Amino acid sequence: MPSKPQKIALDFEKPIIDLEDKIKEMKEFAQSTGVELTDDIKRLEKKSKQLRKEIFSNLNRWQRYQLAKHPLRPYMLDYVEGMCSYFEELHGDRYFADDKAIVSGFAQIDDISLVIVGQQKGRDTKQKLFRNFGMSNPEGYRKALRVMEMAAKFNKPIVTLIDTPGAYPGLGAEERGQAQAIAYNMFKMSHLPVPIINVVIGEGASGGALGIGVGDRILMMENSWYSVISPEGCAAILWRDAVHAPKAAEAMKVTAIDAKELGVVDEIIPEPQGGAHLAKEVAISNVKKAILRNIKELMKIPADELIDQRVEKYSKMGFWKE
């Protein structure tokens, strides 16, 4: 990683980063001039550790939401690269186009051959545009389904890595049936006769996420979010102004802990302190372990039973009185 983008910091990360910069400066100064600063440096390093603990052990929902969108956070292809000994990307929906916001392909993780589908965001401006900010068009969902149906055909488990700020709300997307594409994916995914694991690695925005998000196990990374609309979108509608997004994040309870408490998510995958971007290898390794453990459990279940369990799993979701 080049050192410059490492400085991208969220507001609440700033005090830590400033302090760490100061420690780095002092170290450099001590080394070049020979001035004795060891005790001062030690003191500041202790302070930095404490500060990290203070800030990161009490993250509110809005802060976690920001971590989920952190520009340095690992993206889908970082996980693929870190987890897989083999990956061959398969392109195109066979009808219209190859949507760059969704990546799908054959993969190997340790001793398991599988299919991986996920949303990919771009790191720099050019890549962001190329990936359409991780916002898929209908052909992306149709490509995903094509590849997942092939997984079923060849008896390969499916892992979906979810990271999208939403399905693309554009003219062409509507013309080509964004709603139908998402609906049809859920419809078909509910009955594919192979294990399906959905992992929300960053942003789980609404139908855009759910279009590749139906499966036997739903896992969320500790600092990811998943809800029916983004906090900004919710605030724009209910508070008539997106600046109230932090309130909307609280009200909608968008975090992994919330989703687990509400009975939607099966497992929370721990992240390194301060977020996945601060120790990518750890984050990737945690995701890999969770995926393998769940796949191995699910592979023992006969396909008919697996499908029945999957439909029943969703049929239990929600709360009501009668």
Partner 1 sequence: MDWFKRKKEALKPAEKKDIPDGLWVKCESCGEVIYKKELEKRMYVCPKCDYHFRIGSADYISILFDDDSFEEFNQGMQAVDPLHFKDSKKYSEKYKATVKKTKMNEAVVTGTGTIESHPVVMALMDFKFLGGSMGSVVGEKISRAIDKAIETNTPMIILSSSGGARMHEGILSLMQMAKTSAKLARLANKKIPYISILTNPTTGGTTASYAMLGDVQIAEPGALIGFAGPRVIKQTIGQDLPPGFQRSEFVQEHGFLDLIVHRHELKQRIGKLLEFFAHKN
**Under the rule (CB under 8 A), what is the footprint of partner 1?**
167-171, 173-180, 182-184, 186-188, 190-191, 206-207, 210-211, 213-214, 226-229, 234, 237-239, 247-248, 251-254, 258-259, 262, 264, 310-311, 314-315, 317-322
Cα dihedral 139, 144, 149, 151, rounded to 10, equals 150
| Cβ proximity of 102 and 140 under 8 Å | yes
Instruction: Say how far residue 277 (Cα) sits from the centre of its chain.
Output: 12
CA-closest candidate to residue 280, choices 84, 67, 78: 78
Q: Smallest gap, in angstroms, from Cβ of residue 31 to partner 1?
A: 51
Rg of the chain over Cα atoms, rounded to whole angstroms, equals: 21
How far is Cα 119 from Cα 68, in angstroms, rounded to an integer? 14
CB atoms within 10 A of CB 8: 12
Q: Decide whether 158 or 248 has the Cβ nearer to partner 1.
A: 248
Q: Decide whether 173 or 291 has the Cβ nearer to partner 1.
A: 173
Tokens linked to 178: 């964004």
Q: Smallest gap, in angstroms, from Cβ of residue 25 to partner 1?
A: 44
| Cβ proximity of 241 and 235 under 8 Å | yes
Q: Decide whether 37 or 238 has the Cβ nearer to partner 1.
A: 238
Q: Decide whether 7 or 240 has the Cβ nearer to partner 1.
A: 240
| Cβ proximity of 203 and 68 under 8 Å | yes
Q: Decide whether 220 or 278 has the Cβ nearer to partner 1.
A: 220
Tokens linked to 280: 């990518």
Q: Smallest gap, in angstroms, from Cβ of residue 150 to partner 1?
A: 19
| Cβ proximity of 132 and 161 under 8 Å | no
CA-closest candidate to residue 193, choices 267, 105, 290, 302: 302
How far is Cα 136 from Cα 54, in angstroms, rounded to an integer? 38
Q: Smallest gap, in angstroms, from Cβ of residue 65 to partner 1?
A: 13
Tokens linked to 228: 């029916």
Q: Smallest gap, in angstroms, from Cβ of residue 198 to partner 1?
A: 10
Q: Smallest gap, in angstroms, from Cβ of residue 193 to partner 1?
A: 12
* CB neighbour list of residue 66: distance below 8 Å, 6 or more residues apart: 10, 12
First and final C-alpha spacing in the chain? 56
Q: Decide whether 139 or 258 has the Cβ nearer to partner 1.
A: 258
Q: Decide whether 157 or 231 has the Cβ nearer to partner 1.
A: 231
Q: Smallest gap, in angstroms, from Cβ of residue 168 to partner 1?
A: 8
Q: Smallest gap, in angstroms, from Cβ of residue 76 to partner 1?
A: 21
Q: Which amino acid is at 270?
A: P
CB atoms within 10 A of CB 175: 9
Q: Decide whether 173 or 283 has the Cβ nearer to partner 1.
A: 173
